Amino acid sequence: MLVAFDVGNTNIVVGVYSGRQLLKSWRMETNYTKSADEYGMLLNQLFAYDGLDIHEVDDVIISTVVPSILYTLQHLSQKYFNRQAIVVGPGIKTGLVVKYDNPKQLGADRIVNAVAAVDQYEGHLIVIDFGTATTICAITDNSEYLGGVIVPGIKISSDALFEKTAKLPKVEIEAPGHVICRNTNDGIKAGLVYGNIGMVEYIVTRMKAEIAEYTGDNKPVTVIATGGLATLISDETTCIDHIDKLLTLTGLERIYEKNKQLHARKPKQGDNEF
């Protein structure tokens, strides 16, 4: 079995794979103060609850945008699985041609999502990840990762509005059904949800045009959304073609398959890196 860790700023998603089949997945809070033993005990309990044998784990792969958690999970992998974890980063084979100015600045989650999208969808692609930050990335049908945008996530915007104003309340993130709002709570909800929808629609439209300009063709562009608020935004717009909540875990499994034979050696010149 493969254990895949997708570490975000807010949550860690853990997936357990047998081959390409996802057996179980769990979501836990990203906690900077938890030790490897605390995470290990929690995983032991989750494995036992779902009838999985933790001793059958063959390998571990980690994607993280939180560097301070990486050592903890690497130590966990060594202690509880007796495996040196594969870490998504420079030197990892992805199958992508990364056009970023400095690939080392590129978040691992964006690369992992792109790998999964290329594996599962055809044509030019736009991948939107509604996480702590919202990222929107462009990939050509030749597996060229062109780049994208990063904007504050909806929850960050909501928290900032509450923390930086004297009288505005904290609200549930939901669509009120109208934009002419007659109370403050609905006004904030409308601004957060419909404002983000407008932002997504504009960026997707402009990104499609830039993809066409870069590739010199007018092939269709498929838009895939993932992340906790993907469904909320998708329900209010037609610019998103697919919702794939498991996109990042799928990408981790695909990257593992590309790298498991190379795990014991250093990458050679010519290996696809990001």
Task: Return the H-helix or E-strand segment holding 135.
Answer: strand 133-139
The length of the chain in residues reads 274
Report d(CA 72, CA 237) in Å as an integer: 40
**Do residues 93 and 272 make contact, with C-beta atoms less than 8 angstroms apart?**
yes
Pairing of strands 242-243, 221-227: parallel
Exactly one of 50, 53, 101, 109 is catalytic; name it.
109
Of 69, 68, 73, nearest to 3 by C-alpha is 73
Helix, strand, coil % in the chain, rounded to nearest 5? 40, 25, 35
What are 18's strand-pairing partners? Answer: 21
Would residue 109 show up in a list of annotated catalytic residues for this protein? yes
Would you please indicate which residues are annotated as catalytic (active-site) residues? Answer: 109
